[in-house]
Amino acid sequence: MTEAGELGRGARLRGDPIHAAAIEQGLDAVAGVLNVRRAVAMTADWAARHLGEVALVDVLHGELGRDLISVTARRGQRDHVVRDGLLPHEGPAAIRRAVLAIAQSFDDDLGDLQGGLEPTDDAEGAVLGGDRWRWAAGAPLRARGDHIGTITVAGATPELPEGVLAALDRFARRVSVSIDNARLYEDRSRVALTLQRALLPADLPEPAGYELGAVHRPARSALEISGDFYDVFEVEGGWMAVVGDVQGKGAGAAALTGLTRSSLRTAASLSAEPEEVVLALNRAVLANGGDRFCTVVVAKLADGGQPDIRLTSGGHLPPAVVRHNGEVEFVRMPGMLIGAFSDPTLVEVATGLGAGDAIVLYTDGVTEARAFGEEFGEARLRAVLAESAGMPAQVIAERVAHEVSDFTGGALQDDLAVLVVSAAR
Amino acid sequence: MTGSTDRSDTAGNAPDADADADVVRRYVERLSAADRSGAVAVATSFIGEGRSFDDLLEQLIGPAQEIVGQRWQANEWTVAQEHAATAISEHVVSRLAERVHPERSAGQVVVTCVEGEWHSLAARGLAAAFEAAGWDAVTLGPSAPATHVGVYLNDVGPDALALTCSVPMNLPGARRLIEVGRRSGLPVLVGGRAFGPDDRRARTLGASVWAPTMGVAAAALESIDRFVSPAPPLDHPGATEHVRLEVEIARLVPELLEILKDRVQLVRDSDDVTLDQAREHIFFTLRFVSAALLCDDPTIVDDYVTWLVETLGARRVEESVVRRAIGAMAEHVGRPLPAAGAMLAANV
């Protein structure tokens, strides 16, 4: 209820409990949304529900703060009109004019709003002479000292309803912070790309004579960027399949992972010999400086599914060969950590892959997964693989990950990558 | 094809049940022969008879996968056969989904299965049903951690999140996804067998819509609120005990394994694999209890114990042994966690 003697905008707002509760609810809903588009759409939706019959919210975002997103919402309508534009940065009045011009080109109905308002630092209302909209109110969205956008609402009643201006002002001041959070989030370095790649189903090439399957799960925390990776690419006379693990987590590991992947591809385009490729990688990691290491295992598959596979390991876990009859062999070979020695000892070993056999490359997220003081270990991996003989490559990869996640209780605690290559039957 | 006529088909004149059972039988035969192209052929001819994509999912693929699960449970099929069959069904769904062309884009929906689940068949099927209804659907890979999905949702900015959960012990993962979805303002649709026969579990966990069938899910997307507020915290008494159990579980499993080794002949020899299996059963049982506490629904534990008795029965473990083991667990777990203990004790 309104307290006697206390008038003005704040008092009007307190006198209108629907607005006050609705404002809190609207702010809560937008508060955690870190996608600019969605935050803007939700703001427009709220304003059209509670303040005017139509609401137009425009926000500048993007690297230079010149990308414009503008959303029009109408009360009682589920679908909003979303427009994107690019603006010269000339301040609020220019934004407003440009937004209205864009909006109008989509919707004649919004023409009445043109010229009705020139936003200042506060919410402002005006009675319009238009046919459709009789009043309009606008408020700036401001954050970190900058004008980042505006909210405009309009209605068809003859007068500006009481309380609208105060509620708009209060909502706009606070929702600005949430929208600005989303803008900041959008600008952050795109480490999330690693996560996106890992979340989407594996997009693998289809070399003739082979079938590929892969699972890549970064560690649980979204901030810990995975150092595990896999890659498959064509080289002279065949294909190269790689699994590696860059030590550590975070931005440094992500950078080295990127370097490792590109070095491997570059080296493989110069020489398709596994040992040469791993040596070249070692040189690249050393040249990069820093004190991070990585391990990698490289398998060269012959063209057209011929049975020869040649492998070189740089300190990585031994790949497993799963015979179609259920036998499992771990291919052990010496090979030193990458990035630690200027002249590492490496060997190349050969194995054969008959029809229906598969080779499984994996990271320590598989064998070193822990639960109740025990490791998943090679024995359990061997048992899963023995049971998976002859299954499609993707199924084998997912089964390994599934067994590990069941072992640890549904969630994986560490990064994990599994790459399976099977020879066609 | 048009969505509306298909739906009225499904609802109205129920197709010949015998004929359907026959197609399912032929389809399962192809699965058991690991015959991928044969399975595609059976499904293609099913569609060719004028049946809708929803029908394919609900009258053919769904029942077939149920049979696959039963065969594994009855120890007739190995886990490898089961996985291969599911992979073939996934292939069938994605192949036939390509034939459905949406005429409009109603919006974008992200579809995922919960963390801990590695079969993406249900998610793919759901995505295909959304596509058929005119939505852009993005299916995430299996077992997507909620934190990663949260980042993804904020990057991509879709209009809705849909999730599937098949095994009730993974329902805590569903709750985490509901939380991240709603924090991004998204309506969250849930479906899958883990949610049980009605909307109670879904409602308790804060889902926007419980979809018992693919058709319901696709229709619900058209009418649910586009913008949703964050999920309120769970405040029923079991929710607190759920959190405590999640913390205690790493300590309880080895303790219970020792107790069961001493008191129940569940662990028949000292062979590593058998010990592993016993530990897995204990671990899973506690995870089912944990999910039941979270959902405030003891029938989750009841159903699980029934299933466990049948499954172990097919592997020559006496029911009385299983019940004794559950009793011993109830006693040990019930001391610090009374609600959890009571749920187990009800199944002794």
* 8 A C-beta contact, residue B116 and residue B87: no
- The answer for residues whose C-beta is within 8 angstroms of residue A361's C-beta and 6 or more apart is A230, A241, A242, A243, A297, A299, A319, A418, A419, A420, A421
Residue A84 has pLDDT above 80, yes or no: no
Q: What average pLDDT score do residues B158-183 get?
A: 95
* 8 A C-beta contact, residue A419 and residue A361: yes
Residue A3 has pLDDT above 60, yes or no: no
Q: Is B187 exposed, middle or buried (0-12, 13-18, 19+ CB in 10 A)?
A: buried
**DSSP-based three-state secondary structure for B229:** coil
Residue carrying the six token digits 């089912």: B288
Indicate which of B78, B83, B277 best probes the interface with A, i.e. most A CBs within 10 Å of its own CB: B83
pLDDT in tens, A295-311: 999 999 988 767 789 99
* Cβ pair A387:B153 closer than 8 A: no
| Residues of chain B contacting A201 with CB distance shorter than 8 Å | 120, 139-141
pLDDT in tens, A218-234: 765 545 556 788 999 99
C-alpha to C-alpha distance for B327 and B332, rounded to whole angstroms: 9
pLDDT band at A8 (very low <50, low <70, confident <90, very high): very low
* Cβ pair A30:B287 closer than 8 A: no
Which of A35, A220, A373 shows the shortest C-beta gap to B145?
A220
* Cβ pair B116:A410 closer than 8 A: yes
Residue B230 C-alpha, separation from nearest chain A C-alpha, in angstroms: 6
* Cβ pair B83:A395 closer than 8 A: yes
- The pLDDT value given to residue A95: 59
Core vs surface per residue A344-368: b (16+ CB within 10 A) or e: bebebbebebeebbbbbbbbbbbbe
C-alpha to C-alpha distance for A212 and A418, rounded to whole angstroms: 11
Dihedral of alpha carbons A145, A146, A151, A152, sign: positive
How far, CA to CA in Å, does A201 sit from each of A11, A160, A172, B120? 55, 53, 40, 10
C-alpha to C-alpha distance for A420 and A398, rounded to whole angstroms: 10
pLDDT in tens, A228-278: 889 999 999 899 999 999 887 666 777 788 788 888 998 998 888 999 999
Residue carrying the six token digits 């659907």: B137
* 8 A C-beta contact, residue A56 and residue A45: no
Residue B18 C-alpha, separation from nearest chain A C-alpha, in angstroms: 32
B319 or A144: which carries more pLDDT confidence? B319
Restricting to B residues 66-95, those with a Cβ less than 8 Å away from any Cβ of A are 78-80, 83-84, 86-87
Kindly state whether B149 is in contact with chain A, defined as any CB-CB distance less than 8 angstroms.
yes
Q: How far is CA B57 from the centre of its chain?
A: 15
pLDDT in tens, B41-98: 899 888 888 888 778 888 898 889 888 888 888 878 877 778 788 888 888 887 777 6
Residue B89 C-alpha, separation from nearest chain A C-alpha, in angstroms: 12
C-alpha to C-alpha distance for B335 and B325, rounded to whole angstroms: 16
Q: How far apart are the first and last CA of chain A?
A: 80
> Which residue type, as a one-letter code, is found at position A420?
V
Of A62, A58, A92, the closest CA to residue A72 belongs to A58
Query: A186-200, A314-328, B13-27, B184-198: lowest mean pLDDT where?
Result: A186-200
Residue A408 C-alpha, separation from nearest chain B C-alpha, in angstroms: 10
Question: Other CB atoms closer than 10 Å to residue B87's CB: what's the count?
Answer: 25
* Residue A400: closest C-alpha in chain B: B118
The winner for highest mean pLDDT among A69-78, A319-328, A348-357 is A319-328
Determine if residue B112 is left, alpha or beta; phi over 0 gives left, psi from -120 to 50 gives alpha, anything else beta: beta
| Residues of chain A contacting B156 with CB distance shorter than 8 Å | 35
**DSSP-based three-state secondary structure for B162:** strand
* 8 A C-beta contact, residue B332 and residue B255: yes
Which of B142, B170, B250 shows the shortest C-beta gap to A372?
B250
How far, CA to CA in Å, does B301 sit from each of A128, A335, B173? 64, 50, 17
* Cβ pair A388:B283 closer than 8 A: no
* 8 A C-beta contact, residue A200 and residue A380: no
* Residue B119: closest C-alpha in chain A: A398
**DSSP-based three-state secondary structure for A147:** strand
pLDDT in tens, A388-425: 998 889 899 999 999 999 998 877 777 889 999 999 87
- The pLDDT value given to residue A88: 52
Kindly state whether B280 is in contact with chain A, defined as any CB-CB distance less than 8 angstroms.
yes
pLDDT in tens, A360-397: 999 999 999 988 888 999 999 999 999 999 888 989 99
- The pLDDT value given to residue A193: 55
* 8 A C-beta contact, residue B57 and residue B128: yes
How many contacts, defined by CB atoms under 8 Å, are there between A and B? 142
DSSP per position, A35-99: -HHHHHHHHHHHHHHHT-SEEEEEEEESTTS-EEEEEEEETT-S--EEEEEE-----HHHHHHHH
A359 or A108: which carries more pLDDT confidence? A359
Kindly state whether B155 is in contact with chain A, defined as any CB-CB distance less than 8 angstroms.
yes
* Cβ pair B287:A32 closer than 8 A: no
| Residues of chain A contacting B153 with CB distance shorter than 8 Å | 35
Tokens of B219: 């229709």
Kindly state whether A402 is in contact with chain B, defined as any CB-CB distance less than 8 angstroms.
yes
Of B187, B138, B189, B195, the closest CA to residue B165 belongs to B195
Residue B313 has pLDDT above 70, yes or no: yes
Tokens of B5: 């006529």
Kindly state whether A340 is in contact with chain B, defined as any CB-CB distance less than 8 angstroms.
no
Q: What average pLDDT score do residues A133-160 get?
A: 85
* Residue B107: closest C-alpha in chain A: A79
pLDDT in tens, A147-196: 888 888 888 888 888 889 889 989 999 999 999 999 888 766 444 555 55
- The pLDDT value given to residue B24: 92
ipTM of the complex, rounded to two decimals: 0.73
Mean pLDDT of chain A, nearest integer:
82
- The pLDDT value given to residue B15: 53
> Which residue type, as a one-letter code, is found at position A235?
V
Residue A417 C-alpha, separation from nearest chain B C-alpha, in angstroms: 13
Q: What is the 3-state secondary structure (H, E, C) of A152-174?
A: EEEECCCCCCCCHHHHHHHHHHH
- The pLDDT value given to residue A212: 93
* Cβ pair A217:B145 closer than 8 A: yes
Q: What average pLDDT score do residues B325-333 get?
A: 95
C-alpha to C-alpha distance for B342 and B336, rounded to whole angstroms: 12
Residue A2 has pLDDT above 60, yes or no: no
The torsion angles phi and psi of B316, rounded to 5 degrees, stand at 60, 40
Restricting to B residues 295-324, those with a Cβ less than 8 Å away from any Cβ of A are none
H-run or E-run covering A211: strand A210-217
* Cβ pair A29:B144 closer than 8 A: no
DSSP code for A362: E
Residue carrying the six token digits 């070249």: A280
Tokens of A79: 């679908």
- The pLDDT value given to residue B206: 97
Kindly state whether B144 is in contact with chain A, defined as any CB-CB distance less than 8 angstroms.
yes
Q: How far apart are the first and last CA of chain B?
A: 53
* Cβ pair B155:A202 closer than 8 A: no
Residue carrying the six token digits 């137009």: A56
Residue carrying the six token digits 């939700």: A42
| Residues of chain A contacting B280 with CB distance shorter than 8 Å | 406-407
* Cβ pair A45:B116 closer than 8 A: no
How far, CA to CA in Å, does A1 sit from each of A16, A21, A163, B170? 8, 13, 13, 48
Residue A5 has pLDDT above 50, yes or no: no
| Residues of chain A contacting B245 with CB distance shorter than 8 Å | none
Kindly state whether B108 is in contact with chain A, defined as any CB-CB distance less than 8 angstroms.
no
Query: A10-19, B185-194, B327-336: lowest mean pLDDT where?
Result: A10-19
- The answer for residues whose C-beta is within 8 angstroms of residue B347's C-beta and 6 or more apart is B301, B302, B305, B323, B326
H-state helical runs in A271-421: 274-287, 364-367, 377-387, 393-408
Question: Other CB atoms closer than 10 Å to residue B50's CB: what's the count?
Answer: 11
Dihedral of alpha carbons B23, B28, B29, B30, sign: positive
Kindly state whether A364 is in contact with chain B, defined as any CB-CB distance less than 8 angstroms.
no
Restricting to A residues 53-112, those with a Cβ less than 8 Å away from any Cβ of B are 78
* Cβ pair A412:B83 closer than 8 A: no
